């Protein structure tokens, strides 16, 4: 029913997005030197692109308002936010706590909303992944990532 109530959402939403993004680009590029057509400054090309994009966005918006276009698809919100959050958790922890903390944290964060979540499964997977990362990335490819970050290992008393 939802799709029938709002048949034009996909075009309207994308039209607004593109028009907004284009206008923002154009506005921001005015901060830079525009130069002339013969000697373009850094602001000219982004300004042109931004103007084109916002015009195109308006065209898509108009089309969306005039005719029945595609319905917008419903994004699975929980997985989308859970996955993004797990990436952020990893990014924050990998530097300040080390790989041995960041990987389990990522695994738990991304699995918690899943119906398959069980603490023992997650723990086992996390341990195996930490070992895998150590063997492949740290030993094999020489990525400089501490398993435990220096402040943390000092705190533990190693």
Interaction residues for another protein, span 30-89 (CB under 8 A):
32-33, 36-43, 45-46, 49-50, 52-53, 56-57, 59-60, 63, 66-68, 70, 72-76, 79-80, 83-84, 86-88
Count other Cβ atoms within 10 Å, centred on residue 109: 19
Residue 39 or 119: which CB sits closer to another protein? 39
Out of 1, 4, 5, 141, the only residue in the binding site for another protein (CB under 8 A) is 141
6 binding another protein? (CB under 8 A)? no
21 binding another protein? (CB under 8 A)? yes
Residues 10 and 64 sit within 8 Å (Cβ to Cβ) = yes
Q: Comparing C-alpha atoms, which of 48, 57, 45 is closest to residue 20?
A: 57
DSSP state of 76: -
Classify burial at 110, counting beta carbons within 10 Å of its beta carbon; exposed 0-12, middle 13-18, buried 19 or more: buried
Residue 73 or 157: which CB sits closer to another protein? 73
């Amino acid at each position: 029913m939802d799709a029938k109530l709002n048949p034009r959402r996909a075009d309207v939403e994308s039209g607004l997005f593109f028009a907004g993004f284009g206008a923002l680009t154009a506005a921001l590029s005015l901060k830079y030197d525009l130069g002339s057509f013969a000697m373009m400054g850094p602001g000219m090309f982004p300004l042109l692109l931004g103007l084109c994009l916002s015009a195109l966005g308006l065209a898509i918006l108009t089309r969306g308002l005039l005719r029945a276009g595609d319905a917008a698809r419903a994004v699975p919100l929980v997985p989308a936010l859970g996955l993004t959050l797990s990436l952020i958790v990893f990014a924050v922890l990998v530097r300040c706590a080390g790989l041995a903390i960041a990987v389990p944290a990522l695994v738990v964060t991304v699995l918690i909303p899943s119906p398959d979540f069980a603490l023992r499964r997650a723990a086992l997977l996390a341990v195996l992944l930490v070992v895998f990362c150590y063997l492949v990335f740290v030993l094999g490819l020489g990525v400089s990532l501490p398993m435990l970050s220096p402040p943390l290992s000092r705190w533990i008393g190693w």
